[in-house]
Chains A and B, each alone.
Chain A
Amino acid sequence: MGILDSKIPSGPLADKWTKHKNDIDLVNPANKRNIDVIVVGTGLAGGAAAATLAELGYNVKTFCYQDSPRRAHSIAAQGGINAAKNYQGDGDSHYRLFYDTIKGGDYRSREANVYRLAEESVNIIDQCVAQGVPFAREYGGLLDNRSFGGVLVSRTFYAKGQTGQQLLLGAYAAMNRQINRGKIKAYNRHEMMDLVLVDGKARGIIARDLVSGEIQRHSAHAVVLATGGYGNVFFLSTNAMGSNVTAAWRAHRKGAFFANPCYTQIHPTCIPVSGEHQSKLTLMSESLRNDGRIWVPKRKEDAVAIREGKLKPTQLAEEERDYYLERRYPAFGNLVPRDVASRAAKERCDAGFGVNKTGEAVYLDFASAIDRYGKEKALTSGIKNPDNETIIKLGEEVIEAKYGNLFQMYEKIVDENPYKTPMMIYPAVHYTMGGLWVDYNLQTTIEGCYCAGEANFSDHGANRLGASALMQGLADGYFVLPYTIGDYLSDDIRTGAIPTDSEEFEAAEKAVRDRMGKLMSGTGIHSVDYYHKKLGKIMWNKCGMSRNENDLKEAIKEISALRKDFWENVKIPGSKDSKNQELEKAGRVADFMELGELFAKDALHRNESCGGHFREEYQTEEGEALRDDKNFKYVAAWEFKGEPKDAELHKEDLVYENIELKTRSYK
């Protein structure tokens, strides 16, 4: 156990972070100029960290595979960002945000980390407004809020349905200011190929220039990985096509423990799969559940008729519909947390009530919201006795103002008008709570290698609440890491620049070149995507929304066999010394295959159901998750031992001093 020291500061929960900030060593401004930091990934966590570290005076190098930091996938976050501002006066506080997050995470996250997150949440909003992020406002000029799943207050700040975009552009603007000052050197269209350790410390990376194919050595005193989640291990997910686990996995192979890989968030409201050609899935923001009601037909024959195109959903009367979330969870209704909503949708579809041709979709219906808003708008506009048509027109205007871009996106993809007929949705892989294990300072088990944002495991436990990913990414990047990393770097003020001609860099570069050579030598006929899709199918069918022992054991065998086939046969045209998108994908898929195996192993060992991890063997008679706090109240951190299946488990026991462990109930 001694190997995992979470370094949580002593003292009362609410004082830990302040006390810690006062206790840690600082680096004086003149010395910061002599210290280099590499930040890999430029989304919210990486972009914010890079900008802040550069402001502080460190020399920062950023790396991203995209052609601009602004394109990192944080940009696609739609709904909003939580903060315990209590602007609505509905009783919100640091404690409530902390409590909701721990409960939402099904009691599998660290108290101290989550409390710090709740404290910093308020600073994020102040900071972003100062940077010019155009959050939505009310007519009085003050900031507007909406509510999200799993909570009973309105604490979500938003910028239309493009909150992630606006926050990322804010962090990117902060980066640009530092690039202009020469404090950040941005390496875009560059991919981290491996981490370089010197005397056991992270001292640099091997990168590949994706345009020229050149392999480069970059050294630094510390390396920050902010490279996002690994949802694309499922092939189909709401992640960007390029999102990958490679940086985190390369660090894992060099000694960083990988924590809770099986905690995956399957988001309930995504556009259903339309066919085999599908390359990715599109999310419809959770904010839609504020106003949309989820249902399937009450009678199976109606569902069949709808699937066959003989019946339209609008033809079904109120009493012929099963609003199953409202039925099962009257207190939270359509706003239950994501894992609960996803499983409930799967349950109805598996029982034969699905509403699209594949039988894997449920309705998200805005008709009652349109009616309600229409009547309200008519009243405030002074229209007396409005007819139905006027009400619908006014109501649709309100819905358009709130969710217009989402409705447009839906219509373009599905070719149906969601104002007139209910949306069809189905759960899809969206976010991964697991990631590299980090201590309170966000340091991995490799000295000098830090990890922030979705790439680490720290704050969301077994399930993340809506509008919390943006909050965590920015808290880590702007307000946590720039402080905590100073404590480590304060020992490096006399070290001087790290040379790149050492044996360690030499060996790391050679390993990268050899691996690429091996990938290019495949003799078979199948492309990288062929293997990626196969991996995705195994993951979705056997490690997806619900899992069981038998399936997981099979998954491990199947992935292992697929991996062998891939390394012998994958076909990659072109050369490794120039732009080659197939080679880029191949390196990422190779790492996904190893991760997939560890993922299944982790899911297999966790004999309980909690949050996003649902084991069929562990459920109540009503089909709710059955957690086992006695045996599994710990973080599973895996140490790499040569093969994913040989990974060694280390446990970090989770201690709850401020919250009583309860069975999560949203009824």
Chain B
Amino acid sequence: MKRVLLWTPFALAALLLGLMLARLDAPHDETIASQWVDKPMPAFNLPPATDGIPGLAAADLATGEPHLVNIFASWCVPCRVEAPMLETLRARGVRVVGIAIRDTPKDVASFLSEYGNPYARIGSDVDSNVQIAIGSSGVPESFLVDGKGIVREQIQGVILESDVDRIVAKMKAMR
């Protein structure tokens, strides 16, 4: 008993240091994943983010067709990098809609004219309410939503070229 007690500090320290080593060894993922996957899109109705492109409502996502909902902003630098990938996805038959975060119609319009417009609809989420309601924590992010309006996947950060085939296949399968 006494011996156990005397070696307890050593054991506890070993545990703590082991934990620290494990943590150091596997740098943790710092992004916060949405818990809203496999849940229906919450009710929302966002006004158009810029002239000439309709806004976005939850009803637009429950039409029987799957959608890729892209959370973006004109002030977000990585979004510029992502724009060509979204264009590729659109060209391959993926329905891309956008939610513009904290943006103005003028900025959105110039962003689209400079980097292309893959979006069929863009809702303007000026105070991030819809973004928060689906558990998104930054821009850019994309949510794959099936034809019933249920969120099936969250993609955090920029969609890369290597992701395109998988996304196209998944969208087809969700049809």
**A and B together in one complex:** no
